[in-house]
């Protein structure tokens, strides 16, 4: 585990002090010395802040603050590069302009030597003989945490082997401790920054990084996606060799294809650009709306084209997840935009975001109406999905709404695929292509099998609620008798709380009615009560029809 030591422990080692000075020097170099001086570091550490160079290069002047932060992260090395890349997926944490800039972060880190590669392999497979009979010394891909080498197994198969940088975990822990120290000082001394809870951000980053440092999790992601497309011959997910994969070494099938961005090479090999564009769109549509588990880093470097126009995505370290409810809400959001229902759009947008205070619905609906009018006056083929999502993000930022991270990752994935599509086939219309798929998903929600399953689930939940009411009531009475029953609420948020309570109470009441109708219809069917139609009780059919109508009204109508 990547554990952060106590605040007072940081800096006690010579290694930490040296790295701390290096980080502070680079921070001053990029013009953020005022922040460092406000932290009063000398009160906590004998770091010699006065000895640190505070000179700023002249080329820094024309750069924006977000550009300087990007360059700062790149110079600080792997931990900070990864930190910036993760921040670029979190519109709930940082402003939009910083997100767009941090998306440009490059892994400009040197390759590590082949002797270090061999040491890492020996350490990873210490209890068994090396499975590789040959490995190319020069990596064909490298990033902040590891690099990838072509190798050959004893069975003759060619594989791609991703190997972590030597001692990367130790270096990351040192950087994380320093980041945590700086974040703690920010919360103590800079009120404007304490609002963003920097310590919490560093802790979340440590958790995310822990997952990225475990290659067995990436292997698990690959296997899960492979199961999604096991019967789809148009998508090929590299095979994972689990028996020779560890936390620090990932062994997978070597994909020998053409990068999807190399359009001239694709043409030379007779690839069908239009077909590839459609398959790329299918890839993200199926992953998001059918499975809810999707590749969250589908940039051109991670998409290869194999013979017969087969797509081969790689690098499954960053994945997104959306549960069924979130997927359905997003589909409803799209449908409400298309039907110009700004009120419903606001409702669904709020379901996909979190916020501290209820936004002013009048102003939010006005902005949404302007947004809808701006895009619906255009022909579908002239709508740029990436631009549309950027404008939607600006609205959420203006009203202090924070998109859930996975929702944002999903939007970014669609924008990335559309960007690839525009290069392959400039006439491709992502919105028009996705419309039948989205319509199909909306229809599936009112299919008999789906309604039956949902009603069954609803009945079980309602019965569970009925079982819990007496027990919860007794618990409340006991607390009241002991004088320990306390009812607390925020007066300013009373209206919001009451509204939410009334909606939930309304849903529960209707749910109980639906459950009663289902139970009644089941009894009428089993007793074969008269009158009958097609061999079924007429009253039973009426009861089940009423249950279906109530279910549709309860879950389809926004705001209820």
Residue 107 contacts by C-beta under 8 Å, 6 or more apart in sequence? 78, 81, 142, 143, 144
- What are the DSSP calls for 249-266, one per residue? EEEEE----EETT-HHHH
DSSP designation for 235? B
Give how far Cα 414 sits from Cα of 224, 289, 301, 375, 410, Å: 20, 12, 16, 17, 6
* d(C-alpha 162, C-alpha 509), whole Å: 55
Q: Annotated active-site positions, please? A: 297
Evaluated on CA atoms 415, 420, 426, 427, the torsion sign reads: negative
DSSP-derived secondary structure for 297-365? ---GGGEEEEGGGEEEE---SSEEE--HHHHHHHHHHHHHHHTT-HHHHHHHHHHTEE-SS---HHHHH
**Residues 6 or more apart whose Cβ sits within 8 Å of residue 142:** 107, 109, 111, 148
Measured distance CA(69)–CA(71) in Å, rounded: 6
Distances, alpha carbon 429 to alpha carbons 200, 273, 278, 392, 499, in Å? 41, 14, 10, 19, 41
**Residue from 172, 207, 248, 214 nearest 86 by CA:** 207
Other C-beta atoms closer than 10 Å to the C-beta of 91 total 24
Contact 60, 31 (CB under 8 A): yes
> Is the N-terminal amide bond of 447 cis, ω within 30° of 0?
no
Angle at 181 between CA 179 and CA 182, to 5 degrees: 65
109, 356, 389, 439, 455 from 114: Cα distances, Å? 15, 51, 43, 53, 60
Map tokens 């006991």 to a residue.
478
């Amino acid at each position: 585990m990547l554990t952060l030591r106590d605040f007072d422990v940081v800096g006690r080692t010579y290694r930490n002090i040296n790295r701390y000075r290096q980080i502070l020097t680079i921070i001053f170099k990029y013009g953020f010395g005022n922040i460092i001086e406000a932290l009063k570091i000398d009160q906590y550490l004998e770091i010699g802040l006065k000895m640190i160079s505070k000179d700023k290069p002249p080329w820094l002047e024309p750069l924006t603050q977000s550009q300087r932060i990007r360059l700062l992260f790149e110079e600080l090395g792997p931990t900070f590069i990864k930190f910036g890349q993760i921040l670029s997926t979190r519109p709930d944490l940082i402003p939009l302009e910083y997100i767009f800039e941090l998306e440009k972060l490059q892994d400009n880190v040197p390759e590590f030597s082949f002797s270090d590669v061999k040491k890492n392999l020996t350490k990873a497979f210490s209890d068994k003989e090396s499975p590789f009979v040959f490995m190319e010394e020069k990596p064909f891909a490298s990033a902040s945490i590891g690099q990838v080498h072509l190798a050959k197994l004893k069975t003759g198969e060619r594989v791609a082997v991703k190997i972590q940088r030597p001692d990367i975990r130790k270096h990351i822990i040192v950087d994380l401790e320093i980041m945590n120290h700086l974040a703690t000082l920010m919360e103590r001394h800079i009120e404007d920054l304490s609002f963003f809870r920097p310590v919490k951000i560093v802790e979340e980053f440590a958790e995310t990084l822990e997952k990225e440092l475990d290659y067995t999790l990436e292997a698990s992601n690959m296997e899960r996606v492979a199961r999604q497309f096991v019967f789809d011959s148009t998508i090929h997910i590299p095979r994972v060799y689990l028996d020779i994969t560890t936390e620090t070494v990932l062994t997978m099938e070597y994909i020998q294809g053409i990068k999807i961005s190399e359009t001239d090479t694709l043409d030379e090999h007779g690839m069908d650009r239009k077909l590839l564009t459609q398959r790329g769109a299918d890839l993200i549509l199926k992953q998001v709306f059918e499975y809810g588990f999707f590749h969250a880093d589908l940039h051109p470097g991670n998409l290869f084209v194999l013979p017969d126009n087969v797509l081969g995505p790689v690098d499954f370290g960053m994945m997104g997840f959306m549960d069924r409810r979130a997927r359905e809400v997003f589909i409803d959001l799209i449908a409400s935009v298309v039907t110009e229902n700004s009120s419903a759009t606001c409702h669904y947008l709020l379901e996909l975001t979190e916020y501290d205070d209820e936004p002013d619905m009048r102003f939010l609906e006005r902005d949404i109406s302007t947004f809808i009018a701006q895009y619906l006056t255009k022909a579908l083929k002239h709508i740029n999905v990436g631009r549309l999502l950027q404008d939607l993000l600006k609205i959420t930022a203006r009203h202090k709404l924070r998109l859930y991270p996975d929702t944002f990752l999903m939007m970014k994935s669609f924008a990335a695929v559309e960007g690839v599509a525009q290069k392959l086939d400039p006439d491709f219309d992502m919105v028009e292509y996705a419309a039948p798929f989205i319509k199909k998903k909306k229809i599936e929600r009112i299919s008999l099998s789906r309604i039956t399953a949902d009603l069954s689930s609803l009945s079980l939940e309602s019965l569970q609620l009925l079982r819990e009411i007496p027990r919860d009531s007794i618990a409340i009475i006991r607390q009241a008798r002991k004088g320990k029953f306390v009812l607390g609420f925020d007066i300013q948020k009373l209206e919001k709380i009451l509204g939410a309570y009334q909606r939930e109470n309304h849903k529960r009441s209707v749910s109980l009615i639906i459950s009663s109708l289902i139970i009644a219809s089941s009894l009428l069917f089993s007793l074969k009560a008269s009158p009958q139609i097609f061999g079924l009780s007429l009253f039973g059919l009426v009861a089940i029809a009423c249950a279906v109508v109530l279910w549709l009204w309860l879950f389809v109508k926004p705001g209820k």
